[in-house]
Amino acid sequence: MAVSGPILNAGRDSLSNRADWAYDMLYDVAYKASSLTPRHMSIVNDPIQSQLAAFGTRLRELRLQRGWTLQDLADHSGLSKPFLSRLESSDRQASIAAVLTLSRVFGVSLASMFETELAMEPCIIVRAAEGVAQAANGLHYTPLSNTHRFFNLQPMRVTISPTRPGTEHYKHDGEEWIYLLSGRLTLSLAGKTYDLEPGDAAHFDSRLPHRLIARGTRKAEVLLVASPSSEPTNVYGRSSRQFRAIPLIDPGTSSNN
């Protein structure tokens, strides 16, 4: 039976009202955020800043749920990869047109683009029993944070076996910092080697070819913090080939060694 008259009109009015509400909410967020001073933007509990942070986190969640890279999303949306990267890190405010485009790409409502509980958490706690050990390219590692929330730093605990196979050196955008907990370790970096003992640390540009090598007969265990920066910040420029030992801790791409 066809629906007409008051019932059909009521349905249209309901959809129209919801669309108007979502548009008004988005406009309100964008307008208010554009007038905030740096001092106001730094207040963690500011509701507008929280909504903006939620958008970046939600955008990343939706992308990773589909197994897409930033380039994949750029191809689907027509938005540039650098712009999308800045949206995810909350460095840029999305225009209404950009949010409408992204909501259509993912097939979700405008309101849902701002809905994520994780974005509201000021601190991520990873209990000792919660770490999930993983393996890649002869390394065993346990992520020590949730990169869906804070993804500019990727901390992990890594174990390197003295019998790790291969001699490959890896290079990718970003920086890495390592702290040797136990065992003996050699960092091979850009044609040079650096021997580390427990308590020693190293900080290096991961765009240079590098590899972690356990010396002796014992495994080496390190704390590793990777910062997968999206843009070059020093003289070495952007790495032309991303070659990582450990896949990016989010399901996209990650550190490594």
Mean pLDDT calculated for residue range 225-229: 81
Mean local confidence (pLDDT), 106-125: 72
Average pLDDT for residues 84-102, to the nearest whole number? Answer: 85
Q: Which residue has the higher pLDDT, 249 or 73?
A: 73
Please give the mean pLDDT across all residues of the chain: 75
The arithmetic mean of pLDDT across residues 28-32, rounded, is 48
Q: Give residue 126's pLDDT.
A: 80
Write the pLDDT tens digit of every residue in 37-62.
444 444 334 455 556 667 887 888 88
CA distance readout (Å), 247 to 49, 81, 202: 31, 20, 21
Nearest alpha-carbon partner for 158 in 171, 131, 140? 140
Residue 247's pLDDT is 64
Residues 6+ apart with CB under 8 A from 130: none
Report how far apart, in Å, the C-alpha atoms of 40 and of each of 26, 45, 49, 91, 123 are: 19, 10, 9, 15, 20
- Bigger pLDDT: 143 or 31? 143
Prediction pTM value? 0.51
pLDDT band of residue 25 (cuts 50, 70, 90) is low
Split at pLDDT 50, 70, 90, the class of 252 is: very low
Find, among 139, 122, 102, the residue nearest to 257 by Cα.
139
Backbone φ, ψ for residue 33 (5° rounding): -65, -35
Residue 49 has a pLDDT of 58
Instruction: Write down the pLDDT at residue 148.
Output: 54
Contact 238, 186 (CB under 8 A): no
Q: What 3 state SS string does the chain have?
A: CCCCCHHHHHHHHHHHHHHHHHHHHHHHHHHHHHCCCHHHHCCCCCHHHHHHHHHHHHHHHHHHHCCCCHHHHHHHHCCCHHHHHHHHCCCCCCCHHHHHHHHHHHCCCCHHHHCCCHHHCCCCCCCHHHCCCEEECCEEEEECCCCCCCCCCEEEEEEECCCCCCCCCEECCCEEEEEEEECEEEEEECCEEEEECCCCEEEEECCCCEEEEEECCCCEEEEEEEECCCCCCCCCCCCCCCECCCCCCCCCCCCCC
- What is the reported pLDDT for 176? 95
pLDDT band at 108 (very low <50, low <70, confident <90, very high): confident
Give the model's confidence band at 15: pLDDT under 50 very low, under 70 low, under 90 confident, else very high: very low
Residue 253 is predicted with a pLDDT of: 38
Q: What is the pLDDT of residue 243?
A: 64
The secondary structure of 65-111, three-state, reads: HCCCCHHHHHHHHCCCHHHHHHHHCCCCCCCHHHHHHHHHHHCCCCH
Instruction: State pLDDT tens for residues 179-223.
Output: 999 999 999 999 999 999 999 999 999 999 999 999 999 999 999
Residue with tokens 């650098």: 82
